[in-house]
Structure 1
Amino acid sequence: MGSYENKALEEADAWRNKIIRKTGMMNRMSKQAQIKLNGFIPEKAHGAITETFKNLIEGVLKGTHYLAKNKKEEAEMAFSEREEKVKKAIQLAQKTGMLEGAGTGAGGIFLGLADFPLLIVIKMKLLFEIAALYGFNANRYEERAFILYVFHLAFSSGEVKKEILDIILDWKEKNPPKEPDWRVLQQEYRDYIDIIKTFQLVPGIGAAVGAYANRVLIAELGETAMNCFRLRMLSKE
């Protein structure tokens, strides 16, 4: 393993240790408040929200026009070259997300609500591209499952992050874990983005908040994906 790979693995290990550390008090209080708020939502509504979220995610996962294909010239790329392309893909997704967030944020409540599915499409497309750049075929079930867990890890609270991280670190390509609990996934995702995205619906500041929020959320997803693939590939060498 070369010097670049060693440095990348060190960064990934530091990122992993940050997740493993105990959740801070403010994060715990925020999560407890979200749990209490979710308790006021009727069970029937929870079921409907979960099913809608699941259908949205699965629709994107199964959309063949989002599957990034591995190019022959990329098959022999050095790890550093792969990561350079990954960083550029993240930056492009951030720009796209900022434009989308600013546009829907400026449109008030109704367009602001449209941001939810549009942003998921941008995020999933980015994950497919990152997987392909690291040399993994997203047409395979195990890679789609891995992408789903990376998404789950990026947008979850501290305690759930630890559970999902354990699954990713012990990933079994020949016998991958089953899909995550969809209800937990959608609640964690909504709770994670709720506060910052709610301000996107406020007239006057919605455009600025939407652009900023999408840039930050996509950056978090990109960092999570990079480090997950680093640990998956380099820890075995």
Structure 2
Amino acid sequence: MTSGPPVFVSETAYEHWAQGEVARWREKMLAPPSRWNRATRGVQQKITRAIPEKVHQAVTAVMEKMTRGILVGADFTTAEPLEGLSLEARDRRAAEFIKNYRTTAAVEGGVTGAGGFLMAAADFPILIGIKIKLLFDLAAIYGHAGEVFAERVFILRLFELAFSSPDHRADVFRMIEAWDPATCPPSFEGFDWRKFQQEYRDYIDLAKLAQLIPVVGAPIGAVVNWGLLDRLGAYSINAYRMRWLAGC
């Protein structure tokens, strides 16, 4: 998570502090890949090239169908956007929501990690659902209507930002930094679902594979899921701060 926010300060002082947090986060998002990042990325790309094309197509189709279903499904309820709150009040409420979602994800990861291969495999779609539900709740906290299509695209970009390699993350960050709902595409038709699923899979593969190890799978699943939700929450808070400070 981000560093502790100041207390008992004016709204202007808090927003000034938030600007500093966003500036530091921006620097991190645009930083070039480290030597370790490049090494692990190379291994992942070799694995990707070794996987038959039909498998890539099948996984992409499943990922697209699942994510689209969660994002635009008729049964997906969205909270009403909060009005009249300061950025500080929104940040504090967001932190509480993230804390609760982290706990839920950790419990779910522990249970599925203790249940062997089949339950660990079931963790994949469940965890995506938890992450996207958190993003919808955070959108409402920062005053954005989740039923608006442009906001759902923004949610998808936030998800992508949090779970991508440094190179791709920088590209997604620039999209978010220049975000303008008025210029958002009217559908997901131009969205690169294959890139989306490969980046997400590559990011979580090694950690989630450890969930399959007998005995230690449960604690590993809990810790990994906690960390993934913490990362998503921290990125989202700064992204919404950035929009707030930019007036959009």
Question: What's the CA shift for 1:65?
Answer: 4.3
Distance 2:21 2:58 in 1: 40
Q: Is the 8 A contact 1:66 1:128 kept in 2?
A: no
> Which residue of 221, 229, 234 corresponds with 1:210?
221
Q: Would you say 1:130 and 2:148 are equivalent positions?
A: no
Tell me the number of residue pairs that the alignment of Structure 1 and Structure 2 aligns.
235
Q: Would you say 1:223 and 2:237 are equivalent positions?
A: no
CA-atom RMSD in angstroms: 1.4
What CA deviation, in whole Å up to 9, does each residue of 1:102-154 have, x standing for no partner? 00000011100000000000000000000000000010110000000000000
Q: Would you say 1:52 and 2:62 are equivalent positions?
A: yes
> Equivalent residue for 2:121?
113
In the superposition, relative to structure 1, how do residues 64 and 80 fare at CA in structure 2: closer, same or farther (>3 Å)?
farther
Q: Would you say 1:192 and 2:199 are equivalent positions?
A: no
Q: Secondary structure of 1:17's match?
A: helix
Q: Secondary structure of 2:164's match?
A: coil
Identity %: 38
In the superposition, relative to structure 1, how do residues 112 and 149 fare at CA in structure 2: closer, same or farther (>3 Å)?
same
Distance 1:62 1:3 in 2: 38
Name the TM-score, length of structure 2 as normaliser.
0.91
> Equivalent residue for 1:144?
152
- What is the one-letter code of the residue matched to 1:63? G
Structure 1: segments with no counterpart, 5+ residues: none
> Equivalent residue for 2:8?
none
- What is the one-letter code of the residue matched to 1:3? A
> Equivalent residue for 1:158?
166
* Greater CA drift, 2-11 or 176-185: 176-185
> Equivalent residue for 1:87?
95
Name the TM-score, length of structure 1 as normaliser.
0.95
Structure 2: segments with no counterpart, 5+ residues: 1-10
Distance 1:153 1:134 in 2: 18
Q: Is the 8 A contact 1:86 1:133 kept in 2?
A: yes
Question: What's the CA shift for 1:64?
Answer: 4.3
Q: Is the 8 A contact 1:101 1:211 kept in 2?
A: yes
* Greater CA drift, 170-179 or 96-105: 170-179
In the superposition, relative to structure 1, how do residues 109 and 59 fare at CA in structure 2: closer, same or farther (>3 Å)?
same
Question: What's the CA shift for 1:66?
Answer: 3.6
- What is the one-letter code of the residue matched to 1:152? E
Q: Is the 8 A contact 2:87 2:241 kept in 1?
A: no
Question: What's the CA shift for 1:34?
Answer: 0.4
Q: Secondary structure of 1:225's match?
A: helix
> Equivalent residue for 1:172?
180
Q: Find runs of 4+ consecutive structure 1 residues off by over 6 angstroms.
A: none
